[in-house]
Structure formats: structure tokens, C-alpha cells
Amino acid sequence: MLFIGICGASGSGKSTLSDELLRALNVTSTVINQDAYYFDYPHLSYEDRSKLNFDEPKIFDHDQLLQDITDLLAGKSIIKKAYDFTKHARVKSDEIIYPGEVLIMEGIHAFYDQRLCDQMFLKLFINVEPDICLLRRINRDIKERERSIDSISAQYLATVKPMYDKYIRNYIHHADVIVTRGGKNARIVEILAGYLRDALEK
């Protein structure tokens, strides 16, 4: 199994690149979204949960993510983790994820945990201008997460931009390949798919 990590800012196109790569490869595959591994805070009210910094690395359960990745790489199935962004809470899931030929893990802090990085066959960083990422984030949060422009703006200024500057932009130094123009860069998808096909055959 080939384990691929995809990192980049919120709205950079990580999920899109994952989908495009898997479509081009056409093999059995698994995608793990780091967003599903936010810690849960059931003891806090919705208002208090809304004030949490969801862009800092320690907001994620890295140990649980590592365990699930390790199990998949060992050929074991796992229970899919899920998160409801409209409620800022984990959601129970009975869906089983089975290991495939390719495993992709994507997230804003995909390269934060060195234990995971050490197991990655290939590390991709999507480098997109911050203003483009912001526009994509606004569109996504309104349509998919029932957010208002005011709340999106407040969160961007309070946590998204500061955490990007402090952490996320620096993950580019961990990458094997830097992807520009987002997840629909057809040329780079074609090149990466060819490289991964060769690796799978070997």
C-alpha cells in the first residue's frame, strides 16, 4: 500500500487533488480526512465550542489518527471517523473503511506529526495564494457548513490566518512535491498518477 500525505491551507484544494489522483489511478483506495479527527468537547456549549481554535495543530487527535493509519497500513479495517461542522461535534459512524492499494491522508496539519510523515511514501503540498483559498473557504462554509459571512470573517482573522502564518505555510519544507494552481492541475495529476502507477507495479 502506498501512503500519500496532502497538506495545504484551508481552501487550497486538498480534497479535490485527492479525488483527481484516485480517479486517474483507478485502483482500490482509501481517503482519510484529518478534519474528522478533531477532539470532541461534549462538556462545552455550542457557543463555547464555536470559540475554539480549529486551526491549531493540537485541536486534532493525532494519536487516534496515527492508530487508524497504522492499522490500515497493516491491512486492518477501521471505523470511519466523522465530524459535524454545523455543530462542532463528532458524529458516531458505523461505516467500515477497508485498506486499499493507495491510502491518502489530507489536512491542514497533515505534516505536523513526524510519526505519520515517516510512514508517507509521498508528501504533497498545495501552494495556492491565500486570497484564493479564502474565497473558496467562504463559498464552502456558506454552502456546506451553514456559516455566515460575519462568522467566517471573524474566524479567518482570529485563527485561520495566524495559524497559516505560524504553521501551515512552513509545511512546504516537508513536501516531496509542491503542487501549484490547486487540486485541478491536470498536468501535475497526470505526472503524479504515472509515478504512483510505476511504484505500485514495482
H/E stretch holding 63: helix 62-73
> What is the residue-averaged pLDDT of the chain?
92
Compute how many other C-beta atoms are within 10 angstroms of the C-beta atom of residue 143. 9
The pLDDT score that the predictor gives to residue 136 is 82
The pLDDT score that the predictor gives to residue 185 is 85
CA-closest candidate to residue 95, choices 77, 109, 76 = 77
Please tell me what DSSP assigns to residue 12: S
Q: What percent of the chain has pLDDT over 70?
A: 100
| Crossing angle between the packed helical segments 14-25 and 186-201, to the nearest 10 degrees | 50
Q: What are 162-186's pLDDT values in tens digits? A: 999 999 999 999 999 999 887 788 8
Three-state SS for 180-198 is ECCCCCHHHHHHHHHHHHH
| pLDDT bracket for residue 142 (50, 70, 90) | confident
Q: Which range is least confidently modeled, 22-31, 63-72, 106-115, 152-161?
A: 152-161
The pLDDT score that the predictor gives to residue 141 is 84
The pLDDT score that the predictor gives to residue 60 is 96
CATH architecture of the region 2-201 = 3-Layer(aba) Sandwich (3.40)
What is the rounded average pLDDT of the residues 130-151? 83
DSSP string, 22-62: HHHH-S-EEEEEGGGGBPP-TTS-HHHHHTS-TTSGGGB-H
